[in-house]
Structure 1
Amino acid sequence: MIDPRLKRKQLIVFIISLFLLFLAITWSITSGEYKMAVNTYLKTIIGQGESMDTLILMNFRMPRMIITLLAGMSLSVSGAIIQSVTKNPLAEPGILGINAGGGFAIAVLIIIGQVNPNTFIYVLPLVSTIGGILTAFLIFLFSYNKGKGISPANMVLIGVGLSTALSGGSITIMRKFNEDQAEFIATWLAGNIWGDEWPFVIAFLPWVLIIIPFLFFKSNVLNIINTHDQTARSLGVRLDRERIILLLTAVILSSATVAVAGSIGFIGLMGPHIAKSLVGPRHQLFLPIALLVGAFLLVIADTIGQVVISTGTIPAGIVVAIIGAPYFIYLMYKTHSI
C-alpha cells in the first residue's frame, strides 16, 4: 500500500508538471514565423478563431505538437522500463543503440524497398520496430555473462558501439540515395520531428494508446522485479518471462517513436531520473510524472531548435543531446560506472 502522503505529493507534482507542460505547449505553438497571441491561440482551440489562425494551428502546428508530446512521453516511459528491468540507471533507447537500429532498418528499406507512398507512413513504425528489436537482441546477447547475467556496464559499452556502427552504416547507405532521400535520412538521424501531419498522428497514436497503458498496468510487477531475484520469485513472479515481455514492449514503443520523430536520445534517460527524484522509485508514482517530464523536455527542445536559434532550424535531437550529454556524464560519475 502506498503512503497517502506520497500520493498527495505525487498529485501536487503531477499538477505542477501538467501546468508547466501547458506553458511549454503554449510557447511553442504561439512562436515561429507566424506569431500568434495567446488569447488568439486559446480562442482558436475552442473553434472561435479566424480562418487563417485555424488553418495554421490545426493543419500545421497541432499535428507536430501532438507527435512531439507523444514521442516525449513514449521515449521517457520506454527508458524507465528498460532501466527498471535491467537495473541499469544508464540504460535508455538512444544510448543503447536501439534508436540507431530503427534508423538503419529504415535506411535499408528506402534503398531496397518498393513501398507504396500511401502506406509508407504505416510501414515505417513496423520496419523501425524490427530494427530496434534486432539491435536489442544483439545488445543482450553480447552483454550476457554465463552465471552472472547481463552486465549493466557491458550493456552501455556494447550499445554505444552498436549505435556508432549502425549510424555509420546508415550514412554509408546514404551514398546511394538521391538528394531528397539523403536529406531525409540525415535530418532523421539528427532527431528531427518530421512526422508533422495528421496521417502520422493517426499512424502513431495506436502504438501509444496500447503500449503505455499496458506498461502502467505492469507497475507492480516492475516494483517486484526491482527487488532481489529470490524475493521476486517467492512472490510468484516469473522473472525471465516478465523481463522479456517488458523489454520487448519498451523496445517496440521506442522504435515506433523513432519512426515518426527521428533518432532522439537522452529523453529516456532524463525523464525517469527526474521523475524518481521528485516522487520516489515506485512505478505507480513516478511513471505518470516521467510521462509529463519527457513530453515537456521534448517540447522545449523542439521549440528552442525551431524559434530560439536565429541562424536556422536545429533538430530537437541535437538540442536534447546538448542538455543530455552532461547529464549522462553526471550519472556515470554518480553510479561509479566509469
Structure 2
Amino acid sequence: MLLTIAIFVMGISLGASSVSINRILPILFGDGSFKESFVLFSIRLPRLFVLAAAGMALALAGAVLQGVTRNDLADPGIIGINAGAGVGITLFYLFVKGDLPHFAYVLPVVGFVSAMLTALCIYFFSYKRNQGVQPVILILVGVGVASALSGVMMLLISSAERSDVQFIAQWLAGSVWGTDWPFLWALLPWLVVCIPYIFYKANVLNVLAMSEQTAIGLGMNIQRERLQLLVVAVALAAAAVSVTGGIAFIGLMAPHIAKQLVGPRYQLFLPLTLCIGASLLMFADTIGRVAISTATVPAGIVVACIGAPYFLYLLRKND
C-alpha cells in the first residue's frame, strides 16, 4: 500500500509540467495557482485514478483466470480476451462516428460483449470432455485467437480513414487515452460490483485451483462456478482495456508477485494483487511519460518490456 501511494505521488509530480511534491497538499486544499490546479485536477489526478482502477481490474481478472483454468500463464492479454474487446471497441468507434467522451459509459459494455464472445470461443476450443480445460491448449488457442484478431485490427486500420487510424494505433500500443473524469466514473461501477463478488468467491477459487476430482468430491458445481467467474473476469478486463487500450501482462505479473509474498491462498493474495496491479500500471505510465522528453511512450509498451521476460521466465519454470 505504501508503494502504491508512493508511485501515485510520483505520477502526480513528474511530467512535462512538474508539480513539486511539497505543493500537492496545498493545491488539493485550494491554495494553488491556476496552472497548478489545472495540471493536478484536470490532467494528473483523473489519469492516475483511471490507471489505478484499470490496473486493479486487469490484475484481478488475471488472478481469476489463473484459478479458473488452473494455468499460471493465463492473462487477459495473452489469451486474446483483450484483443476481442479491442475489436469490438474499434468497430464501435469506427461506425458510431460520435464524440467519444459521450460514449464513455457505453464503451465498457461494448468491450464486455465482444470480449465475452472471444472468451467463450477460447473456452470451447480448449475444453475436452471428461478432462476439462486443458491449460496448454488454452494458451495455444488464446494465442491463436489473439493473432487472428490482430489481423482483423490490421484490416480495420487499412480500411479506416486517416483520422481514425490514430485511435486504433493508440489502442494497439496500449496508450492510455481515456484520461478524463467521465472514464473513471464509467470504470468504477464495474469494479464496485465485480471486486466484492470475487472476494466473496475466494474459497471457490481456492478449490478450483486444485484438481477437478477434489472439487467434485467437495460437492462443487465446477462448470457453473467457472462460467460465473469467467464472466466476471472478462467484465473486469473489458472495462479496463476500453479506456487503456491493449495492455497485457499486468494480469500475469501481479498475481504471481502477490503469491510470492503471501502465498497462494486467495483470501491473502487478492488484496495485494489489487495494489500491485495499480502500482505496475501507474509506474509504467509514469516511466513512459518521463523517459523521453520529446515524446510519450505508451504504457502498454513499457509493461510489455517488463512482462515479456517475466512471461518467458514463468514459461520456462512451468515447463
- Matched with 2:306 is 323
Residue 25 in structure 1 maps to residue 8 in structure 2: yes
Residue number among 66, 87, 94 corresponding to 2:77 in the alignment: 94
The alignment yields a C-alpha RMSD, in angstroms, of 1.4
How does the TM-score come out when normalised to structure 2?
0.96
CA–CA distance in structure 1, aligned partners of residues 219 and 131 of structure 2:
22
Greater CA drift, 90-99 or 224-233: 224-233
Once the two structures are superposed, the pairs formed by residues 1-338 of structure 1 within 5 Å of their partners are 18-113=1-96, 119-336=102-319
The answer to whether the 8 Å contact 1:59/1:197 transfers is: yes
1:317 partner amino acid? G
Shift of 1:309: 2.4
| Greater mean alpha carbon deviation, residues 62-71 or residues 237-246 | 237-246
Deviations 1:205-241 (A, max 9, x none): 1111111111111111111222233332333322111
Residue-by-residue CA offset, 1:302-325 (whole Å, 9 max, x unaligned): 011111223411110000001100
SS in 1 for 2:174: coil
Shift of 1:70: 0.4
Summarize deviations over 1:19-74 as a string: whole Å, max 9, x none.
Answer: 11111111111111111110101222233333321121011111100000001111
Conserved? CA contact 1:143–1:158, under 8 Å? yes
Give the paired residue count: 319
Rounded to whole Å, the distance in 2 between the matches of 1:88 and 1:60 is 38
SS of residue matched to 2:105: helix
Q: Distance in 1 between matches of 2:246 and 2:117?
A: 16
Residue identity matched to 1:242 = E
Equivalent pair of 2:101/2:182 in contact (CA under 8 Å):
no
Q: Is the 8 A contact 2:57 2:236 kept in 1?
A: yes
> What is the TM-score of this pair, normalised by structure 1?
0.91
The Cα of 1:193 is off from its aligned counterpart by: 0.9
160-169 or 231-240: bigger deviation: 231-240
Unaligned 5+ runs, structure 2: none
Structure 1 residues 23, 163: CA separation in 2 closer, same or farther (over 3 Å shift)?
same
> Could you tell which deviates more after superposition, 321-330 or 111-120?
111-120
Cα shift at 1:282: 0.4
Q: Percent of pairs identical after alignment?
A: 47
Structure 1 residues not aligned, in runs of 5+: 1-17
**Cα 1:220/1:103, change in 2 over 3 Å:** same
Amino acid at match of 1:158: V
Question: Aligned with 1:32: secondary structure?
Answer: coil
Counterpart residue identity of residue 88, structure 1? N
Provide the C-alpha distance between the structure 2 equivalents of 1:117 and 1:304, rounded to a whole number of angstroms: 27
**CA displacement at 1:281 relative to structure 2:** 0.4
Q: Once the two structures are superposed, what CA deviation does each residue of 1:227-265 show, in whole Å capped at 9, x if it has no partner?
A: 233332333322111111001110111011110111100
Tell me, in whole angstroms, the C-alpha distance in 2 between the residues paired with 1:178 and 1:135: 26
